[in-house]
Each structure stands twice: as C-alpha cells, then as structure tokens.
Amino acid sequence: MIGKDLDIAKSLLENGEVVAIPTETVYGLAANALNPIGVSKIFKVKNRPSFDPLIIHCADAAAVERYVRQVPPKAARLLDAFAPGALTLLLEKDDRIPEIVTAGLPKVAVRIPNHPLTLELLHRLDFPLAAPSANPFGYISPTSAQHVSDQLGDKIPYILDGGPCSVGVESTIIGFEQEQVVLYRKGGLALEKIEALIGPVQVKAHSTSNPKAPGMLHSHYAPRIPLVLGKLTELLNVHADKRIGLISFSERFAQVPSEYQVVLSETGNMEEAARNLFAGMRRLDAADLDLIVAELIPEQGLGRAINDRLRRAAATPE
Ligand code: TXA
Ligand code: MG
C-alpha cells in the first residue's frame, strides 16, 4: 500500500516490519536498526547479500552520537554544515548497533536524511532506521513511491509517499582513515563543497571491489537493456539499425523518437540532471528497445555522481 500516514509507518516499524521511506536522495527500505529480525527482512526483500552493510538514518546529530563511539572533529564540522543532507559518515559503531547492520564491520554508516516526512517519522521513533535504497539488489535506485511499488509493492506492507526525490542520486559516503578524509561513494553532496569546508579529500570510489563500500560493485545500478557510453552522434550512426533509447545531458536528437529520449537538463543544470537520471533510466528500461546510448557530462559538482552511475550502468555484470 502507498500512503502518507506516519502512524501506519510508525506502528509497522515498531513491530519489526519493513517500510519504504522517502529521502531527498532516493527511497529507502527501512527497518528498526536495533532489531536484527526486522533488519534481516530488508536483506530478504531486496535479495541483498548479507556481506553488504546498511546505512542507519537518524533524526539529528544527538541521535547520531548515541550510536557511534565518537564523532571526530571533521565529522562534527561536516554534520554541522551538511546535515540533514545527502551525506553519509562512516564512524566507529556503538555496541547497540547489531552486527547484521554493518555486516560485522567495526564502523557504521550514518546519515540524517533531509526529507520532512521521514525526519518527522524519525523524531517520533525511539530507534534509528537501517535503510538501503528500496530496489532489488543490483537495479536502479527508486526516486518515487511508484518506482518502489513497481518492483517491491507486493513484498512490503507500506510505502510512505513523500513525492519525487529532490536530489535523485544516493548520498556521498565519507570516512576517516587516521587523519585522512576519504570519499567512498560519489553522491548527492558535491565533493567541492566538502573540500571547501574541511580541505582535501582522498577519493576511493572508483574501485570495482572496494572493501570499504562492498556494495559498490561495478555493475550496480544496471538497467535490463544494455547501456553504452560515448559520443552520441557516433553511437547513433554505429547503431542505426537498432531500436535506440538515448540519454543526453541537454541536447535533443531528431533521429530518435522523443519518447525514447531522456534529456537530463535542457539548461545544463547538474542538480536537475541528477533529479532526472534514475527516472529516465527506468523509463527507457521499460520500453521495447535494443540499446540505450548515453553520454558522460562534465566531471564537476553532481556531475561526478551522475557519471559514476552512468559508468556503473554501462558496465557488464561481473
Ligand atoms: O542516499 C542514500 O545513501 C540511500 C538512502 C536510502 O539513504 N541509501 C543507500 O543505501 O544508498 P545503499 O545500501 O543502497 O548503499 C549504501 C552503501 C553500500 O554500498 C554499502 O556497502 C555502503 O554504503 N556501506 C554501508 N555501511 C557501510 C560500512 N559500515 N562500511 C562500508 N561501507 C558501508
Ligand atoms: Mg543501493
């Protein structure tokens, strides 16, 4: 069922059930992070391997402090500046966080989502919510309640509808290795903004088997239909005999019917492009096409996260 009723969501979560929740980045599939049985249902519904840890979602910085051993000074400054927001921090976990949440790792991923409905829900609950993106493992993350319903609707009791996601790509994941700040996933908070606040960040988000973010397998976010990246005019020529879907940054192409074209932002706006990316990929993936062609966009701001998702979608499963 899809609805906006916080009481229903709250009572299901208190009873150890899973509920899909809106966030500003993507929809999450949530359960009581302190209840291992509830959390195990997330893995089952998503068909997610148990070695892939979950992010916990907290109402505010005080709640974050309750579930981690300590908040290093740079983490505190990031929380001050960017929470609630599209920022996830990897911090030493408190013993109350069950092993199933972190897949046995000593650190827990924590974030404060910037969505009014979910913040209200978190304030009303006396536990944090463990929540991965609300998609079957390996598929494109959902950015609307309908996306969640399309794939998981018959497997979960409730989808809390908070409208379309305002950011549209998953959170940026930041951790600390000794004194070094490390970025493990490019996301909805731009690297430039983080570096402007706390100085240089080491980017480790490119590896195909990054042990710090085991879920970042190269083929993540993959659509069903093959997706190739390159120069669009050339790709359209090479694949002229195929039924083609197209994802461009801002340009339209007369050769492709408009229903098979996703223009991420006509004005070349990165935020708008990020908002449109996953819905566009889903729309083309549902069409009767042989191939999706796409182009990378400038590697700056949210362009980094958009390009990362496009590259993962283009990678063949390992
Ligand atoms: O925007 C987001 O972050 C969304 C919304 C729902 O909050 N959530 C999300 O969760 O994208 P998920 O599970 O799809 O991606 C979380 C990533 C995974 O790649 C996971 O491996 C990594 O974070 N991760 C979680 N806990 C970790 C930990 N303790 N150590 C290392 N990586 C961790
Ligand atoms: Mg995910």
For 289-306, how does the pLDDT look when each residue is reduced to its tens digit (9 = 90+)? 999 999 999 999 999 999
- State the pLDDT at residue 214: 47
Ligand nearest to the CA of 220: 2
Confidence label for 315 from pLDDT (cuts 50, 70 and 90): confident
Distance 135 CA to ligand 2 centre (A): 7
What pLDDT does residue 212 have? 46
Residues 201 and 305: their CA atoms lie apart, in Å, by 15
| Rg of the chain over all Cα atoms, to the nearest angstrom | 19
**Per-residue model confidence (pLDDT) at position 292:** 97
pLDDT, residue 211, reads: 44
Q: What pLDDT digit, counting tens, does each position of 80-133 carry?
A: 999 999 999 999 999 999 999 999 999 999 999 999 999 999 999 999 999 999
Average pLDDT score, the chain:
94
DSSP, residue by residue, 145-207: HHHHHHHHTTT-S-EE---S-SS-SPPEEEEEETTEEEEEE--SS-HHHHHHHH---EE----
Instruction: Give distance in angstroms: CA of 88 to centre of ligand 1.
Output: 8
The average pLDDT across 56-68 equals 98
The enclosing H or E element of 8 equals helix 6-14
* pLDDT for the residue numbered 75: 98
The residue type at 110: V
Quick check: 2 and 142 in contact, CB under 8 A? no
Of ligand 1's listed atoms, the one at least distance from the Cα of 86 is 1
pLDDT digits (tens, 9 = 90+) for 22-50: 999 999 999 999 999 999 999 999 999 99
Q: With 50 as the cut, is the pLDDT of residue 79 above it?
A: yes
The region of weakest confidence among 113-117, 178-182, 246-250 is 178-182
Residue 191 has pLDDT above 80, yes or no: yes
1-10, 53-62, 214-223, 271-280, range with the lowest pLDDT: 214-223
Mean pLDDT of the region 244-248: 98
Q: Taking the mean position of all CA atoms in its chain, how far away is CA 122? A: 19
Asked whether residue 220 carries a pLDDT value surpassing 80, the answer given is no
Ligand 1 atom 32 nearest Cα: 213
9: pLDDT strictly greater than 90: yes
Ligand 1 atom at minimum distance from 167 CA: 1
| Cα 30 to ligand 1 centroid, rounded to whole Å | 12
Residue 173 Cα: closest atom of ligand 1:
23
Q: Reply yes or no: is the peptide bond before residue 113 cis, omega within 30 of 0.
A: no
- Among all ligands shown, which has an atom nearest to the Cα of 23? 1
185 forms bridges with which residues in the sheet?
Answer: 173
Q: Which residues lie closer than 8 Å to 5 by C-beta, 6 or more apart?
A: 160
Which ligand gives the minimal distance to the CA of 214?
Answer: 1
pLDDT above 60 (res 209)? no
Ligand 1 environment, Cβ below 6 A: 23, 25-26, 28, 52-55, 88, 90, 102, 105, 107-109, 111, 113, 131-133, 170-171, 173, 212-216
CA of 272 to the centre of ligand 2 (A): 21
